[in-house]
Chain A
Amino acid sequence: MRLFYAEVKSRQEINAGIFTVRLAGDGRFGDQFIPGQFVMVGIPEAVSHDPLLRRPFSVARVFASEDEFELAIKVVGRGTTILQHLRPGELVPIHGPLGNGYPLDLLEPPGKVIMVAGGLGIASLLSLLDHCRQRGWPLEDLALVLGARSAAELVYVELLEDLARQGLRFLLATEDGSRGQQGLVTAPLTGLLAAWEAAEPLVFSCGPLPMLRAVCRLTAGRHCRTYLSLESRMACGFGACLGCVTRKKEDDGSGSWLKVCLDGPVFPAAMLPW
């Protein structure tokens, strides 16, 4: 993990309240990054300590040759509103990459990989998809199921549709039916699991908690290994504040917690209580 100021290279509004920002690394960011890791982003205008804390964001893409990386951010409060107005050339305090990332030792072809993303959860899984492609995984053996409330909350869809034309199994669902099939990711995921179960796929999911729970339920008892990337409030991102803890499976109320920042954010589904 590293502490540095990253220069804003570009920023792109995706939809109302969602934007991507491309930042310069510190020369070694790309070498150190493991897909699924996150960065703590400081709020550059917070000279009077308001907002005080850094915010965690998944790294969506790393551009290795330029040592640049991209975040996808949804505006939810004052901090993200300030980040939304970043201009190229401005400097942003970055701490990272942090967290464990996806289990790279398992991520070697051949085999099938299913990625299930909800909303901005696509950011974390896009870095995984990139990794799989770099490892030479045939796109035909990779599936990405993306869900959101509406088309306005979708990011990276054009990129994914382009990959779909090259062979990626790309399934899209919105709750209001404004793009893709109407409903939750669970419907297309159920079909995909049935079709791919014989190949004992790896399943990775990142998104809202109800979706992660549903993915757990759908994959439980099937021939697949499931990993979930969690979100949590965190003050530090490196294991010091103990603010981000989450419950372990078979927690009888006396044991220790899982730290989302340090033990995660990626956990095998078997470690979690749902």
Chain B
Amino acid sequence: MVKKGKAKVDLQVQLAPGLVLKNPVISASGTFGYGREYAPYLDLARLGALVTKGISLRPQRGNDPVRIVETPCGMLNAIGLENIGVEAFLARELPGLRAAGATVIVNIFGQSPADYAALAAILERETGIAALEINISCPNVKAGGLQFGTDPKMAAELVAAVRRETSLPLITKLTPNVTDITDIARAVAAAGSDCLSLINTLTGMAVDLRTRKPVLANLTGGLSGPAIKPVALRAVYQVVQAVNVPVIGIGGIASATDALEFLLVGAAAIQIGTCNFVNPAITVEVVEGIEKYLREQGCTGIGEFIGSLRLPGAGRD
């Protein structure tokens, strides 16, 4: 038997037939810019993957300020999917990410299934893209995003449209703003999504008692940060039970302990979002923390740990 504390732990996880990550830690879309913003703080190649800001066919300006407000243990944002558009992304951002050795997942969104399909067709031709994450869950834009993510039939049609245009591994990012997240999860998995990521932000609101006005110009925003972790953990647990595709857990992860909790309930990987703002080096610290924990637990591979939740009445305890 290998001695505790000495063994090398295999952190590799497989999220799709063509998508194996060196470790399960991914930066979440909308919190990691185009990756470049974080290059001064960490080696992008050390991440399992990074997910870009949501990319659309044409540049998008986003919402007027005020765009963010802090809330207990979290924040609300209503950025409104501001981005430079796919053309500028490919010309200005992707080459640097390739050179940095980053595993790049491109988050895509549009106003119609045709937009999403067109983006997939464009990105399919590029080298240096490991997978696409289909955003059907942004709560901060009037058209696109969330409208597809709350209806299982529309969500499935959209995923199928993207699937027809690309052989790239597909991840679909789900919203928690539905009655039963497993309905959507089953629908998009059946439509050809290789993997699911959840949860996106919860819709929320903040008002200013002094001025009697909403704080955000958009009136409502998406709640993120440690405040939403219990909701996310529940949703991931439910979806893991409901589908046969890998699930990426997202929601308020602020430490290796938080990340391990998601892996424990069955997430094959995790994404870190809001806490990147607080500590730009957190993703790499979580990679190290997961490895240390698994080594201490005597695991040789992360697969031994994923989904090892002990349910009451199910086993010896």
Task: Mark A residues whose CB is within 8 Å of B.
Answer: 1, 3, 42, 48-54, 95, 232-236, 238-246, 253-257
Contact = CB atoms under 8 A, between A and B. Distances in A.
A54 B82 contact: no
B72 interface: yes
Contacts of B74: 49, 52
A232 B64 CA distance: 13
B40 interface: yes
A24 B112 CA distance: 54
Q: Which one of B38, B40, B61 has the highest number of Cβ atoms from chain A below 10 Å of its Cβ?
A: B61
Contact of B82 (A42, A233, A239, A242): A242
B70 A241 contact: no
B75 A50 contact: no
Contacts of B278: 42, 52-54
Interface stretch (B5-13, B29-37, B182-190, B287-295): B29-37
Contacts of A238: 37, 280
B66 interface: yes
A235 B280 CA distance: 11
B73 to A, nearest CB: 5
Majority secondary structure, B binding face:
loop
13 contacts: A3-B279, A3-B280, A3-B281, A49-B73, A52-B74, A233-B67, A233-B69, A242-B67, A243-B67, A244-B65, A245-B82, A256-B59, A257-B62
Q: Which one of B31, B37, B278 has the highest number of Cβ atoms from chain A below 10 Å of its Cβ?
A: B278
Nearest to A77: B70
Majority secondary structure, A binding face:
loop
B142 to A, nearest CB: 16
Nearest to B67: A243
Contacts of B66: 233
B58 to A, nearest CB: 11
A243 B279 contact: no
B275 to A, nearest CB: 8
B77 A243 contact: yes
B72 A242 contact: no
Interface of B: 31-33, 37-38, 40-41, 59, 61-62, 65-70, 72-75, 77, 79, 82, 225-226, 254, 274, 276-281
B277 A241 contact: yes
B33 A240 contact: yes
B280 A52 contact: no
A235 B73 contact: no
A49 B65 contact: no
Contacts of B274: 52, 235
Contact of A233 (B68, B73, B226): B68
Contacts of A236: 276-277, 280
A48 B75 CA distance: 14
A38 to B, nearest CB: 15
* Pairs A-B, 9 closest by C-beta atoms: A243-B68, A236-B277, A49-B226, A235-B277, A240-B33, A240-B37, A50-B73, A49-B73, A243-B67
A245 B70 CA distance: 16
A243 to B, nearest CB: 3
A182 B27 CA distance: 53
Contacts of A253: 61
B75 A235 contact: yes
Given A3-B281, A235-B75, A256 B38 contact: no
Q: Which one of B68, B69, B276 has the highest number of Cβ atoms from chain A below 10 Å of its Cβ?
A: B68
Nearest to B229: A49
B311 to A, nearest CB: 27
Contacts of B226: 48-49, 52
Contacts of B38: 240
B61 A254 contact: yes
A246 B65 contact: yes
A202 to B, nearest CB: 28
A9 B37 CA distance: 32
Contacts of B59: 256
A53 B225 CA distance: 10
Contacts of A242: 62, 67, 79, 82
A249 to B, nearest CB: 16
Given A49-B225, A246-B65, A255-B61, A1 B277 contact: no
A243 B79 contact: yes
